[in-house]
Structure 1
């Protein structure tokens, strides 16, 4: 018997009963035609079994799961937004800033009294930056005569210390003027 000029082995994965896989290893040589005869007939036909294409869950159930999942996601996002807003409102620099603004007499002409702080825009990354030692936030404020934005710049030497308000600017929405009405005196400012 003559030896084949070359031998190459290859594997064919066979699907058995739609779930399990079997491996057939063949040698490619002069007797290649004999190897093709050994191929299972399933591989020569369409191997997709139409009975296995049915979904285990109905479309109505999937739709209901998607709707409930959407409501849960929206509810969770709303909950965390409110929680973050409340953390800003309870922060020491937020409360001190509003107290200093309320004690600023000239603000009565443009915004009026009482002055209330609104929710901070969490998407404003330029004006709302807080790390452990520095805070820069823009607080929307409202009064009976108009609206404005209070820009707060605060700092503290270490994270265990209390916040000091370094500077406060106010911008009124009527005339879009922004001015500084409070600066921390130099003797009280923290040394860097």
Structure 2
């Protein structure tokens, strides 16, 4: 079937007829218009969904940057002369990938995060671990490590909380709730 919109004709076999002469053609054209409308609606719906997801992802990543441990960690990094020297001034943070739950997870009591950074010399990632004992307590940064683009398999230790060993962070489970007895962790 060939459609000619200018003359509103269609061809079936060797005969040419007007659209109004054959009810099958009107039905076919009507269904095509409906399918085209549905495709348009589905396209717009898909674009709106993807746009909404991207906006939500950026909103959640922005909210993560408002946490106390995030701000404290970046201040500690900027005060670490060797780290700043390796990255190059100015050091700027980039968008956090909230989809990478292996390295970025935040719960009520514990958080672990990978913060992408860019300096004038190279890019890197700041890995941070933080926790608090109760919801009323302030966050405590446990460890900060800087991974550099040029040294992918090594990390520079920026800060290690003296109250916690390296094994504590290695076995860090963000889903674990501190076991408190009368306000003291047991």
Please state which band the TM-score falls in when normalised by the shorter chain. 0.5 to 0.7
How many residues in Structure 1 have an aligned counterpart in Structure 2? 140
CA distance in structure 2 between the aligned counterparts of 1:168 and 1:128, rounded to whole angstroms:
14
Note if 1:178 corresponds to 2:155.
Answer: yes
Structure whose CA Rg is larger: 1
Runs of 5+ consecutive residues of structure 1 not aligned to the other structure: 1-49
Q: TM-score of the superposition, structure 2-length normalised?
A: 0.67
Query: Given the two structures, how large is their TM-score scaled by the length of structure 1?
Result: 0.66
- State the 1:175 CA deviation: 2.1
Higher relative contact order (CA 8 A, sep 6+): 2
Shift in Å, 1:172:
1.1
- How far does residue 69 in structure 1 lie from its aligned partner after superposition? 0.6
Name the CA distance, whole Å, in 2 between partners of 1:88 and 1:131.
Answer: 11
In 2: Cα distance, 1:145 partner to 1:170 partner: 14
Higher helix share: 2
The answer to whether the aligner puts 1:78 opposite 2:54 as a matched pair is: yes
Q: Which structure 2 segments of 5+ residues have no match?
A: 1-23, 25-29, 165-177, 179-183
Alignment partner of 2:138 out of 162, 172, 176: 162
SS in 1 for 2:98: coil
Report the RMSD for the aligned CA atoms in angstroms.
2.5
Q: How many angstroms apart in 1 are the aligned matches of 2:39 and 2:143?
A: 53
* Other structure's SS at 1:114 match: coil
